Amino acid sequence: MTPVTGDAVVREVGRPKVSWWQVLRVALVLGWVAWAGITWWSAPRESSAAQARADMAAGRLAYFEWGDRWENDSGFFNPFQSGLQSSGGPGPVLLWHTTDGRQHYAAVDNGGAGTDPQLEENTTFYSGPEAEALDTELRSYEARGLPDEVPIRSAKKVLPLAGALLFLWALVSATDPVTGNKWFWFWVASSVPLGLGLLWWLARERPWSSRAAVREKRLNGWTGFGLGLLGTLMVGLAVWGLRALFGDALVPVPR
């Protein structure tokens, strides 16, 4: 009888096959971690006009814009898509980017000492004398050429798009989920802010989790839609609470 060697056993049993679902799961988690880190790093943080001047002096200021106030188009309980609203004149809020991809903003002034556009044609209306002085310095700095910044904004656009496409492909291609139907997970993953719904799907549902308990009646799309709204409310309140507790240096609001 011919003895069976170790190599023969390996050939007989075969090497374990790679689970592409697990590879995709790891890729989605790593992509979320990268996106979360970039979003936290680049979220606007409150600063001062003095810091803007310091960044100009050091050649770190790579982009700037003026606005009137922060605006949220996504509802009171979703602070994650706010933008800077502007009426066209410089001040009273200055937002600028530095070469390391970070964003800063400062409330300059909002006095009545600026130029009145009703009195002179083709003049720029400033919110106050400090905004006028700072804008003059910024324009002079811009004329010398702005430095390039780390392409963080491109990464912030590419990563969510790639993640959304992979999510939709996996949702359609994978076996039927057992906790909720595919519409349930679509609304949960796409509605809950900060990608937390996606992480729940990756941790809780098949094919990612072999321990996912089979429900006799799966949760439907309307339940997922409602949970998405509830998740938006809870996450928004949690972010506001943590920001009030720790400040926007540690818990900035992504914009």
Q: Where are the domains of the chain?
A: 20-40+152-246, 42-143
Spatial distance between the Cα atoms of 172 and 183, rounded to a whole number of angstroms: 10
Measured CA to CA in angstroms, residue 5 lies from 9, 12, 14, 16, 126 at distances of: 6, 11, 14, 19, 85
Cis bond upstream, residue 92 (ω within 30): yes
Spatial distance between the Cα atoms of 105 and 49, rounded to a whole number of angstroms: 9
Spatial distance between the Cα atoms of 190 and 193, rounded to a whole number of angstroms: 8
Q: Which are the contacts of 50, defined by CB distance < 8 A and separation ≥ 6?
A: none
pLDDT values of the chain reduced to their tens digit, one per residue, 255 residues: 445 444 444 444 444 455 788 889 999 999 999 999 999 999 999 999 999 999 999 999 999 999 887 776 555 455 555 677 777 667 788 999 999 999 999 988 763 334 444 434 444 556 678 888 899 999 999 999 999 988 888 888 899 999 999 999 999 988 888 899 999 999 999 999 899 999 999 998 888 877 777 888 899 999 999 999 999 889 888 988 998 899 888 988 777
Name all contacts of 120-123 with Cβ < 8 Å and 24+ positions apart.
none
